[in-house]
Amino acid sequence: MIVKVDKDLCIACGDCINICPEVFDWDEEGLAEVQVEEIPEGKEGLVNEAVESCPTDAILKEEFAHVKSTEKEYI
Ligand code: SF4
């Protein structure tokens, strides 16, 4: 699973960072950003919770279960 924050939609409420600080943190502009390339094992549930909690649907989630890691860059 890969997630991204659409910073045009982020209103800096901090919910995602509170829910899963291992994955989300503030950037230099005070908006949320994803800190990891891939979600660490065992954190998918918290990331899903963060996605659901985001009031502006700013967290975009993509599943790559069917794609080999070497092919990701071509998507
Ligand atoms: S939950 Fe959504 S709006 Fe709130 S800080 Fe995270 S990405 Fe931004």
φ/ψ (deg, to 5) at 63: -100, 130
pLDDT tens readout for residues 7-37: 999 999 999 999 999 999 999 999 999 999 9
Q: How far is the CA of 42 from the centre of ligand 1 (A)?
A: 21
5, 18, 35, 57: which to mutate for ligand 1, most atoms within 8 A of CB?
A: 5
Q: How far is the CA of 72 from the centre of ligand 1 (A)?
A: 25
* Ligand 1 atom index nearest CA of 12: 5
CA atoms within a 13 Å half-sphere pointing along the CA-CB vector of 14: 2
List helix spans (H) across 1-75.
15-19, 44-53
φ/ψ (deg, to 5) at 48: -60, -40
3-12 core/surface letters (b: 16 or more CB in 10 A; e: else) = bebeeeebee
What is the pLDDT confidence band of residue 64, given thresholds at 50, 70 and 90? low
